[in-house]
Amino acid sequence: MTTSLPMPTLHARPTAAARGTAAASSSCSPDLAADPWTVDRRGPAYGPGASQADRAPASAPVQGPIPEEYRELDDATLHARITAAREELGERVVVLGHFYQRDEIVAHADFLGDSFQLARAALSREEAEYIVFCGVHFMAETADVLSRDDQAVILPNLAAGCSMADMADVAGVEDCWAQLTEVLGDLDAPDETGKVPVMPITYMNCSAALKAFVGRHGGIVCTSSNAAVVLERAFEKAHRVLFFPDQHLGRNTARAMGIGLERMPLWSPGRPYGGNGNTVASLEDSQVILWHGFCSVHKRFTVDQISAARAQHPDVRVIVHPECPMEVVDAADESGSTDHIRRAVESAPPGSTFAIGTEITMVGRLAAEHPEHTIFCLDPVVCPCSTMYRIHPAYLAWVLESLVRGEVVNRITVPEAEAAEARLALDRMLEAVPR
Ligand code: SF4
């Protein structure tokens, strides 16, 4: 029986003492070794890992029990059964694996990438009837929005949500929109300059319902790769943007464009004017209204960790993800998406040293794939994304063998009206290419 979750192994990792911490060999939760189905029985919760302190909404999907036989299979048997099911299904199935997935899942993926790369990769397999998305819920929704009606998108574990995505919901955003309308007038109506008062911009990491909201109101979806281009396009048509759910990506991107922090009020949902001292005047003067959301994986990185890495490796190149807090991005040598980080490592001369601020599973894989470099995670504590690692091989085996029997389980379906509006916002993103 598979009784523990394989944790990422880091190569050439500095010692705890050298990095000024005593916790380098520990994990963020003793429960990390638990089987994911143990966590699934606890109802809507993110489970052990980086998001364990975040509150999951009551509406978060819950994964029902999978057949006991899958929970009792050892790693080798699971691997063999997944491989056999894949062979039997042939080109009828495509398996997508996010960069943050564990290696035992990635081993079966036809494509490895970030959320949008994977959604597009699925489209390249027109013959596939089934798209098995080894990632989190909003990614599977996006794949469903972009795929054909006769293709079924499957999420192996329904409890694989995203705490950041859940920090913005339609009710909260609608309330914000209504309050901003009181302050700024009809938000969808252009003024004499041809610009609307506010355009909604959402990071890819949100529900399809919010992408639909954005599509309905003339807004655009962005990724961590193209957020700056999307904001540039938005400011051609709007005086301000409402950016959700990740405040850090919004702040880091806007500041790099020269927008002052004083023009980026933070909006906490459910409060008058979003709280945080916001006033009619500050909202009128704003350029980027930042939603109070964050990624608990990337929030773990600190300036102290960067200082410790530099102290031990004077030649270290520090790369962090733009979901990290602003002071961490400022202290790093560069910031960029998961794909940017991967390409930076691949193109570096042998013998390079990298301290990386992104999800530890991906950092561990980069380190294993590039023994010619010294690569370590900035965070000395092993603390993976709570939901990405919920995709255990037992779930993948279960969904694939169900397909072999002709049974589609864990299908993710976005209602057509919602999908059509979400597609508008995604299409605008594709049109927002650098000029
Ligand atoms: S790493 Fe952060 S943004 Fe990505 S799925 Fe996990 S919680 Fe969500």
88 and 182, same domain (yes or no): no
CATH code of the domain containing 229:
3.40.50.10800
**Is 197 a domain residue?**
yes
Instruction: Give pLDDT tens digits along the chain (435 positions).
Output: 333 333 443 333 333 333 334 344 588 987 877 788 888 887 888 999 999 999 999 999 999 999 999 999 999 999 999 999 999 999 999 999 999 999 999 999 999 999 888 988 888 898 999 999 999 999 999 999 999 999 999 999 999 999 999 999 999 999 999 999 999 999 999 999 999 999 999 999 999 999 999 999 999 999 998 999 999 999 999 999 999 999 999 999 999 999 999 999 999 999 999 999 999 999 999 999 999 999 999 999 999 999 999 999 999 999 999 999 999 999 999 999 999 999 999 999 999 999 999 999 999 999 999 999 999 999 999 999 999 989 999 999 999 999 999 999 999 999 999 999 999 999 999 887 665
Give the bridge partners for 357, in sequence order. Answer: 320
**H/E run at residue 61:** none
**Is 305 a domain residue?**
yes
Is 52's C-beta closer than 6 angstroms to any atom of ligand 1? no
Out of 28, 99, 157, 162, mutate this one to test ligand 1's pocket (max ligand atoms within 8 Å of CB): namely 162
Measured in Å, residue 84 CA sits from the centre of ligand 1 at 31
Measured in Å, residue 285 CA sits from the centre of ligand 1 at 32
Is 385's C-beta closer than 6 angstroms to any atom of ligand 1? yes
Is 246's C-beta closer than 6 angstroms to any atom of ligand 1? no
145 and 66, same domain (yes or no): yes
Is 338's C-beta closer than 6 angstroms to any atom of ligand 1? no
Cα–Cα dist 144/148, whole Å: 8
Give the bridge partners for 355, in sequence order. Answer: 318, 376
427 and 355, same domain (yes or no): no
**Is 14 a domain residue?**
no
For residue 122, what are the CA distances in angstroms to 85, 91, 145, 149?
19, 12, 11, 13
311 and 280, same domain (yes or no): no
288 and 309, same domain (yes or no): no
Residue 20 CA to its chain's centroid (Å) = 29
- Atom from ligand 1 closest to the CA of residue 46: 7
Measured in Å, residue 106 CA sits from the centre of ligand 1 at 17
- Structural domain span for residue 325: 298-377
78 and 144, same domain (yes or no): yes
364 and 279, same domain (yes or no): no
Q: The whole model's pTM is what?
A: 0.93
**Is 144 a domain residue?**
yes
For residue 39, what are the CA distances in angstroms to 32, 36, 297, 386, 398?
10, 5, 19, 10, 18
Residue 111 CA to its chain's centroid (Å) = 17
- Atom from ligand 1 closest to the CA of residue 51: 7
158 and 221, same domain (yes or no): no
Do 28 and 48 touch, CB atoms closer than 8 A? yes
Q: What tokens appear for 221 in the block?
A: 């979806």
Do 314 and 267 touch, CB atoms closer than 8 A? no
Measured in Å, residue 28 CA sits from the centre of ligand 1 at 16
| Count of structural domains, the chain | 3
The DSSP result for 152-212, as a single string, is EEE-S-TT---HHHHTS-HHHHHHHHHHHHHHHS-TTS--TTS-EEEEEEEESSS-HHHHH
Do 164 and 294 touch, CB atoms closer than 8 A? yes
Do 24 and 15 touch, CB atoms closer than 8 A? yes
Exposure of 374 in the CB half-sphere (CA atoms within 13 A): 16
**Helix, strand, coil percentages in the chain from 3-state DSSP, rounded to 5:** 40, 15, 45
Mind spelling out the 3-state secondary structure of 75-99?
Answer: HHHHHHHHHHHHHHHHHHEEEEEEC
- Atom from ligand 1 closest to the CA of residue 298: 2
Is 297's C-beta closer than 6 angstroms to any atom of ligand 1? yes
183 and 213, same domain (yes or no): yes
150 and 178, same domain (yes or no): no
Measured in Å, residue 295 CA sits from the centre of ligand 1 at 6
**Is 209 a domain residue?**
yes
Is 286's C-beta closer than 6 angstroms to any atom of ligand 1? no
315 and 260, same domain (yes or no): no
Ligand 1, atom 6, residue with closest C-alpha: 385
**Is 351 a domain residue?**
yes
38 and 137, same domain (yes or no): yes
Ligand 1, atom 2, residue with closest C-alpha: 295
Among 345, 344, 369, 339, which Cα is nearest to 11's?
A: 369
The one-letter amino acid at 256:
A
